[in-house]
Structure 1
C-alpha cells in the first residue's frame, strides 16, 4: 500500500503546486478572500456535480462507503479548522507580515502536521522518517526564501520586520497549525468516500469565504473570471484533496504531509514555464533537499512484529493477509462492508493505515 499512498500523495502535491501559479494569474482580478472562496467553491461544486452525475448511491459501487456516525464530527472539525479558521488567520496575518517571513512560516504546516500525528494521535515514526520530513521541509524553506545568498542578513531582516507587526506572524503560524489539525482530523474520516469528504469541505469553506468577501464589500467577478477560478480550484483543491485522503488511508498523516510539502517546488517549476522566471540557486538546493527527503521516505522499511487486536469495522478493502473472511456469493474488489478481524500477531513491512495503529 505504500506505493499507492506515496503516488497519490505526490500527485496531490503536483496538482496543488500547479494551482498556485495558475491562481497568480487571477489574483489581480480578485481579492484574496474572493479568490480563496471561489477556489474552494470550484472544488466542492465540481466534485458535487460529478457525484450527482454518477449517481447518489455510487459510493458502494466504487467500493467506497458514506460518512457515518462520529465521522461527521471529525469532518466538521476539519472544515472549521482548515477551511474557515486557517484562511481567516492567514489573510489577517498576511496583511501585516512581510512576504519573506510569511513564506517561511507557511512551511510550519508540514512540521505541525507531523508533530500532531506523532505526539497527539500516536502515529508511529522512526529516525529515517523524521530525517526525510526535515529534508523536505528544509527544501520548502529554502525555496520560500528565494535563494538569497545573504542568509544571516536575510533571516535577521525578515524576522525583525515580521515581528515588528506583532500578531501578524503569530496569525500565519496559527493558520499553519489549523491546517495541521485539519490534516489529522481528515485522517479520522479517510476510510469514507474521499469524493464526499472533498466536496463537503469545498462547499462549506467556499461558501464561508465568499460570504466574508461579500461582507467586506467585494462584488462577484465577471463570469469568465469566476469560471476560471473555480476550474483551478476543482483540480488544485478538489481532485488534489481526493488524492490526499486516499494517501492518508495508506501511509498515515505524517508521511502524506511530508510528500505534500513538495508542492511549493512543483509550483516553482510550473512558474518557470508559465512566467519565464529564472532558475535560482534556491530552487536547485530545494530540489536536492526534497529529493533526499522523498528518497528517505520511499525506501523506508518499517518492519517489526506487531499485534492486531480483535476489531470490527467497515471500510474499502480487498482480500489480503488482513482480510480473510468469506462471502455468500461472488464479489468485486475493492468492496466495502462491515467485517471482523480476529487477534493476529505477525511481522511484515507496514505503515500506519487502518490496521496498523499500534504503539511503538
Structure 2
C-alpha cells in the first residue's frame, strides 16, 4: 500500500507540475481569476462527464463508494478552504507582496500541511520523515528564489505577506480535511471540488469585469485543468488514503521542480544552478521517504467502517458468494496486535 501511495502522490505532482508552464502559455489571454476558474471547471466538468458517460468508471465497478454522512461536512470545509478562501486570499495578498517574497511564502503550504497533520490530526512521524520534508521544502525554496527579498516593500502595508501565508494555511487545511473523505470515491471528490471552486473563481472574474475568452482558449484551459487539477487531485486523494497527509504533501511539493524541467523544453529557459540544486535536495527528500521503514508493534482497536479493500491481513471476513476485488462494503475489525511495516492509512491512525 505504501508503494501505491508514493507512486500516486508523485503522479499527482507530475501532472500538476506540468500544468503550470502550460497555464503560463494561456495567462496572457486571461486574467488570473478567469484562468483559475477555467482550470477548476475543466477539472470538475471533465471528471463529471467521465463519471456520467463512462460505464467502466462507475464507483461500484472500481470498488469505490459514494460520499456519505458527515463526510459531506469535511468535504464542504475542504472545498471552502482550498477552492474559495485560498485563491481569494492569494490574489489579495499578491497585490501588496513582491513576487520574490510571495514565491518563497508559497512553500509554506507543504510545511503547514505537515504540521497540521502531525500536531492537530495526530498523524505519526519520525526523524527520517521530517528530514525528507525539510529537504523537499528546501528544494522548493531554492526554485522560488529570485534574488534578494524585498521585505521592506512587502511589509509596507503590513498585511500582504500575512495574507499570502493565510492562503497557504487554507490549502493546508484543505489537504488535511480531504484526508477525512479519502475513503470515498476520489473521482467524485475531485469533480465536486472542481465545479465549486471553478464556479466561484469564474464568478469573481466576471464580477471584476472579465468576459469569457474565445472558445479555443476556454477549451485549452479546461483540458489543462482536467489533467493538472482533476486527474492530479484524484491521484492525490488515493495517496492520502494510503500514506497519509504529511507524506503525500511532501511528495506533492516536488511539483515546482517538474514545472521547471518542462519549462526548459517549452520556453527554452536555461538550466540553472538553482534547478540542479533543487533536484539534488528534492531527490534526497524523496529517497528518504521512499526508503522509510516504519515497522513496530501496534494495536488495532475494534472498528466498523466502509471503504475499498482486498482480503489482506487486515480483512479476513467472509462473504456469501463470490466477490471481485477490490470491493467496498461495511465490515468490522476485531482487536488485533501485530507488527509489520505500515503507513498512516485507514487502519493505522495510532499515535506514537
Q: Which bin holds the TM-score, normalised by the shorter protein?
A: over 0.9
CA distance in 2, matches of 1:115, 1:184: 10
CA distance in 1, matches of 2:198, 2:262: 25
1:95 paired residue number: 95
Deviations for 1:74-124, whole angstroms, at most 9, x for unmatched residues?
000000000000000011111221111010000000000000000000000
1:280 aligned to 2:277? Answer: no
2:350 to 347, 355, 358: 358
TM-score (norm 2): 0.99
71 and 56 in structure 1: CA distance in 2 versus 1, 3 angstrom threshold: farther
CA distance in 2, matches of 1:323, 1:275: 51
2:292 to 300, 303, 309: 300
Deviations for 1:114-161, whole angstroms, at most 9, x for unmatched residues?
000000000000000000000000000000004x5xxxxx1xx43222
Asked if the contact 2:101/2:154 (under 8 Å) is kept, the reply is: yes
Residue aligned with 2:270, SS: coil
Per the TM alignment, residue 55 of structure 1 is displaced from its structure 2 partner at its CA by: 4.5
CA distance in 1, matches of 2:106, 2:197: 19
Residue aligned with 2:184, SS: coil
1:231 aligned to 2:223? Answer: yes
Per the TM alignment, residue 167 of structure 1 is displaced from its structure 2 partner at its CA by: 1.1
1:174 paired residue number: 166
Q: Give 1:115-264 correspondences, 5 Å limit.
A: 115-146=115-146, 148=147, 154=148, 157-264=149-256
1:17 paired residue number: 17
Residue aligned with 1:26, SS: helix
1:50 aligned to 2:50? Answer: yes
1:265 paired residue number: 257
CA distance in 1, matches of 2:70, 2:50: 26
57 and 259 in structure 1: CA distance in 2 versus 1, 3 angstrom threshold: closer
CA distance in 1, matches of 2:109, 2:152: 22
Residue aligned with 2:154, SS: helix
CA distance in 2, matches of 1:273, 1:103: 22
Deviates more, 1:160-169 or 1:328-337: 160-169
Asked if the contact 2:50/2:57 (under 8 Å) is kept, the reply is: no
1:151 paired residue number: none
CA distance in 2, matches of 1:172, 1:271: 25
Per the TM alignment, residue 56 of structure 1 is displaced from its structure 2 partner at its CA by: 10
CA distance in 1, matches of 2:201, 2:298: 45
Residue aligned with 1:27, SS: helix
Residue aligned with 2:338, SS: strand
Residue aligned with 1:25, SS: helix
CA distance in 2, matches of 1:162, 1:296: 35
Per the TM alignment, residue 205 of structure 1 is displaced from its structure 2 partner at its CA by: 0.4
CA distance in 2, matches of 1:189, 1:209: 24
Residue aligned with 2:318, SS: coil
CA distance in 2, matches of 1:87, 1:165: 20
CA distance in 2, matches of 1:306, 1:358: 8
Residue aligned with 1:242, SS: helix
CA distance in 1, matches of 2:341, 2:70: 31
CA distance in 2, matches of 1:21, 1:163: 29
CA distance in 1, matches of 2:319, 2:129: 39
288 and 340 in structure 1: CA distance in 2 versus 1, 3 angstrom threshold: same
Deviates more, 1:165-174 or 1:339-348: 165-174
Deviations for 1:15-71, whole angstroms, at most 9, x for unmatched residues?
000000000001010001000000000000000000001249921111000000000
CA distance in 2, matches of 1:166, 1:27: 29
- Over the aligned positions, Cα root-mean-square deviation in angstroms equals 1.0
**Structure 1, unaligned stretches of length 5 or more?**
149-153
**Structure 2, unaligned stretches of length 5 or more?**
none
Residue aligned with 1:314, SS: strand
